[in-house]
Amino acid sequence: MAFPRERCIPKEISPYNIQLSPEDTPGNTHVKVLTQESADKVSELLMVNHDHTVHHLLTLWALGATPSEVQAMYDLNKPYQALIQYHPASVAAVKLKEPAFFKQCIGNLDYYQDYVRFFQDEIAVRGVPAVVNEYLFKGDELSDDIFARMHSGFLHPMIHLGCGLEFSQPCLVAEALAAGCVHDEWPEWFIFPVEEYLKSNPDVPSKSLLEIVTGLQNDPVIANAVTPDDPLNKISDGLLKKVAKELVPYLASYQVDATPEDLQQKTTAMIHTCAYILGAAQHPGKVEAIDFVMLHMSTLGIFYPTFMAQDWISNENKKRMLQWKAWGDAVMYAGCGCPKLYPERVTGYTPKRPQDGWPELCHRANVYGDDGHISKVIRAMLNTQELPEPVEGFPLAKKDFLKIAHLALDSVERMLEPGQYKVPDKIKKTVAEEMRQDEEIVRVMVRWVRWCGVEGSWDNFPDLVEKSRDEEAVVGDARIAAT
């Protein structure tokens, strides 16, 4: 979904225009050297919006990609993006000012562009804080509906909001709100029941997200709820159709106090836990891979320090944001079949290029030809590495998040090796032939494991070959040489 944006003259940040600069909009997690040339290139391409390409381009900007690298990634992904022509000041956009019509159009993708223009105009007059507070945090039926919808679609509306706030681009905030208006409502199936449960059971003991995930894994009803023959979205059309009620008591155990200290501590812990789940969700007999569904837990988590830093969001609403995020993380984990976590696959991982530090990893991510998910994972791990050490007893140490970045890059770069890129017959038939999707879409389907705790999800990945003692000795020598 996309449309070309109007560019204002002169170039400036506005609800109708995007402009980056190293001084004013570097983002919170970025490499040391950012150039105005790259800022201008990304700003130029962002004015021809291609939905997920926005997230990719901004990540490339923060990771220090050159103008030519940015253009190359844009050109790679442009062919399969659907361009929707921009219609300024449409009749529907004006009519959305009528509350009844606004509510009537909720959930209807046909009105996306009209919602964008509506929110652009609202932000132009009232500013980002007032508009976001009204349409996400007011606490009435409409704002709760939109805010819940922001968490569907693998969290992309929330990711878009994070991009808008981190990089100070009100145009992207308008798009994020519009996306929330037209996304599906299924997150409401667990979010609101949990809130009602907590009202009726105010003394529920609070647990960490990691404790809740462990509880879900040990519950056979929930852990076995999702099956291979469930529909494409195994969360909304599998898990929640079967065990939504059973999930509620677990989710209700994650609670946040509306104090600056608890908000900060639990934001950090949430980010650590999402990274741990992402890296440790491996198969004991298969090579390392990253789950495409669960990676969104981390690529959204990177924006929560930004959300928590906004002084115009009340602590009560920050509390609600963080609770909804963690509840959604737990549901996403359960939707992936509650995969067993193997911390030793992270702590004991030997990178393909152990000498590479963050600068080299960022460059490898910038030039890797994909739709942007690997660069977003690398930036998310960089952000995690920059946080304080995990709490005592956590399965990973701060240094291990660099290993997850290595593991992620090594796993997707494996597709570049001779004989490693193999398209399963099912994907070839359904995605490439029947759906007639671009080759890049096919690559996305086989680059990552999906629903990694569900039976059969690892079938098309290479077996893990045990290293001989001689090979282990060589690896050990290499480690010593690298220190």
Name the pLDDT band for 286 (thresholds 50, 70, 90).
very high
Q: How far apart are CA 165 and CA 167, in angstroms?
A: 6
Q: How is the chain split into domains, by residue range?
A: 1-185, 190-483
Longest dimension (CA), the chain: 73
| pLDDT for 387 | 98
Q: How far apart are CA 147 and CA 465, in angstroms?
A: 46
* pLDDT per residue as tens digits for the range 53-88: 899 999 999 999 999 999 999 999 887 665 544 455
Res. 190: pLDDT tops 70: yes
Res. 347: pLDDT tops 70: yes
Q: How far apart are CA 195 and CA 324, in angstroms?
A: 10
The encoded tokens of residue 164 equal 């808008």
Q: How far apart are CA 168 and CA 394, in angstroms?
A: 34
| pLDDT for 433 | 63
Partners of residue 3 on adjacent β-strands: 49
Q: Cβ neighbours of residue 166 under 8 Å, at least 6 residues apart?
A: 27, 28, 303, 306
The encoded tokens of residue 227 equal 């099956």
Residues 312, 315, 316, 318, Cα dihedral to 10°: 80
Is the link from the previous residue into 390 a cis peptide, with omega within 30 of 0?
no
Name the pLDDT band for 7 (thresholds 50, 70, 90).
very low
| pLDDT for 288 | 98
- The one-letter amino acid code at 298 reads S
Q: How far apart are CA 290 and CA 384, in angstroms?
A: 17
Res. 467: pLDDT tops 60: no
The encoded tokens of residue 64 equal 């220090």
| pLDDT for 87 | 52
Q: How far apart are CA 255 and CA 252, in angstroms?
A: 7
Give 400 or 80, the one with higher predicted confidence: 400
Please say whether the beta carbons of 63 and 27 come within 8 A. no
Helix 315-335 / helix 188-200 crossing angle, nearest 10 deg: 120
Please say whether the beta carbons of 419 and 410 come within 8 A. no
Q: How far apart are CA 248 and CA 334, in angstroms?
A: 12
- Section 49-55 average pLDDT: 72
| SS3 readout for the chain | CCEECCCCCCCCCECCECCCCCCCCCCCCCCCCCCHHHHHHHHHHHCEECCHHHHHHHHHHHCCCCHHHHHHHHHHHHHHCCCCCCCCCCHHHHHCCCHHHHHHCCCCHHHHHHHHHHHHHHHHHHCHHHHHHHHCCCCCHHHHHHHHHCCCCCCHHHHHHHHHHHCCCHHHHHHHHHHHHHCCCCCHHHHHHHHHHHHHCCCCCCCCHHHHHHHHHCCHHHHCCCCCCCCCCCHHHHHHHHHHHHHHHHHHCCCCCCCHHHHHHHHHHHHHHHHHHHHHCCCCCECCCCECCCHHHHHHHCCHHHHHHCCCCCHHHHHHHHHHHHHHHHHHHHHCCCCCCCCHHHHCCCCCCCCCCHHHHHHHHHHCCCCCHHHHHHHHHHHHHCCCCCCCCCCCCCCHHHHHHHHHHHHHHHHHCCCCCCCCHHHHHHHHHHCCCCHHHHHHHHHCECCCCCCCCCCCCCECCCCCHHHHHHHHHHHHHHC
Burial of 355 (0-12, 13-18, 19+ CB in 10 A): exposed
Average pLDDT, the chain: 91
| pLDDT for 418 | 82
| pLDDT for 425 | 72
